[in-house]
C-alpha cells in the first residue's frame, strides 16, 4: 500500500516539476496556423457582416467591463443597454415559452416578456461579471437559412485551459443583426430555457401563472 502512495507522490512531483516547463512551450503557439482557420476558409459562405456584428458587440462589452474607472452600477447599466440592443429579446422569450404562448392571455404575455428580459439581463451580467481577460476569437460563420447566420467563436482562456466553443445565432431583421440564440459547446440557451419553463408549467398543472410567479421571485 505504501508503494502506491509513493508512486502517486512521484507522479505528483513530476507534475509539479514539469509545470515550470509550460512557459517554454508557450512561444510557438501563435506561429503555426490552426487547422480550424483552414477549415473555415474552405467554407465559402461566410458572413463577414454577421461576424463583424458579434465582434463589435464583444469588443464593446470587453472595453467597458475591463474599464476600472467605471462603477459596477455604470457597468450594469451599459451592459443592460448593450444586451437589449443586440439581443432579440421578444423572439427568444417567445421561443422559450414554447407552446404555452398560445394559451396565455395578452396581459400574461406582456408580463412574461418583461420578466424574461430582466431575467436574461441578470443571467448574462452575472456571467460577464466573471470576465477576467479571456479572448473571444471568431473563427467563422455559416448561413442557416437566408435570414440566419451562425457565428462560431471560441473563448480562449489565458491560463492554458480548454477552449470553450460559443456559437451565436444571429438574424438579420430590418437591415440590422440581432442575436436569437447562444450555443455553448452545442447547448442552446434558448432550448434549455424552454425545457426549464415547460417543466415548471407542466408540474404546475399547465398554468402559465405558475411560471410567472417563479420569474417574479427571481
Residues at the site binding another protein, with contacts judged by CB under 8 A = 1, 4, 7-8, 14-16, 18-19, 21-22, 25, 29, 32-36, 38, 90-92, 94-95, 98-99, 119, 122-123, 126-127, 130, 142, 144, 147-148, 150, 159-163, 169, 171, 173, 180-181, 185-188, 190-200, 202-203, 211, 214-215, 218
| CA 168/CA 55 separation, integer angstroms | 11
Cα(56)–Cα(61) distance, integer angstroms: 9
> 35 or 69, CB closer to another protein?
35
Residue with cell 492554458: 160
Burial tier of 94 (Cβ tally within 10 Å: 0-12, 13-18, 19+):
middle
Cβ closer to another protein: 148 or 207? 148
Least distance from another protein to the Cβ atom of residue 58, Å:
19
Q: State the nearest-atom distance from the C-beta of 85 to another protein, in Å.
A: 18
Which C-beta is closer to another protein: that of 18 or that of 69? 18
Q: Which residue's CB is nearer to another protein, number 14 or number 67?
A: 14
Largest CA distance in the chain: 71
| Between 21 and 205, CB nearer to another protein | 21
User: How buried is residue 142: exposed, middle or buried, by Cβ count under 10 Å (0-12/13-18/19+)?
Assistant: middle
- Matching residue, cell 436569437: 180
Nearest-CA neighbor of 168 among 44, 58, 82?
58
Min CB(159)–another protein separation in Å: 5
Q: What's the closest the beta carbon of residue 69 comes to another protein, in angstroms?
A: 28
Q: How far is the CB of 51 from another protein (least distance, A)?
A: 17
Long-range contacts of range 13-18, CB-CB < 8 Å, 24 or more positions apart? none
Amino acid at each position: 500500500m505504501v508503494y502506491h502512495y509513493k508512486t502517486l507522490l512521484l507522479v505528483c512531483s513530476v507534475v509539479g516539476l514539469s509545470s515550470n516547463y509550460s512557459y517554454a512551450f508557450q512561444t510557438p503557439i501563435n506561429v503555426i496556423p490552426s487547422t480550424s482557420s483552414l477549415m473555415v476558409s474552405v467554407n465559402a459562405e461566410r458572413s463577414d457582416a454577421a461576424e463583424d456584428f458579434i465582434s463589435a458587440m464583444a469588443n464593446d462589452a470587453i472595453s467597458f467591463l475591463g474599464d476600472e474607472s467605471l462603477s459596477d452600477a455604470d457597468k450594469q447599466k451599459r451592459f443592460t443597454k448593450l444586451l437589449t440592443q443586440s439581443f432579440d429579446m421578444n423572439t427568444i422569450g417567445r421561443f422559450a415559452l414554447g407552446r404555452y404562448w398560445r394559451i396565455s392571455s395578452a396581459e400574461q404575455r406582456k408580463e412574461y416578456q418583461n420578466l424574461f428580459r430582466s431575467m436574461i439581463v441578470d443571467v448574462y451580467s452575472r456571467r460577464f461579471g466573471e470576465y477576467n481577460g479571456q479572448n473571444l476569437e471568431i473563427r467563422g460563420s455559416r448561413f442557416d437559412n437566408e435570414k440566419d447566420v451562425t457565428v462560431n467563436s471560441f473563448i480562449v482562456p489565458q491560463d492554458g485551459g480548454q477552449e470553450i466553443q460559443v456559437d451565436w445565432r444571429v438574424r438579420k431583421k430590418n437591415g440590422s443583426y440581432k442575436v436569437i440564440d447562444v450555443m455553448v459547446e452545442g447547448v442552446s440557451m434558448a432550448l434549455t430555457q424552454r425545457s426549464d419553463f415547460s417543466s415548471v408549467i407542466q408540474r404546475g398543472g399547465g398554468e402559465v401563472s405558475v411560471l410567472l410567479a417563479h420569474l417574479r421571485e427571481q
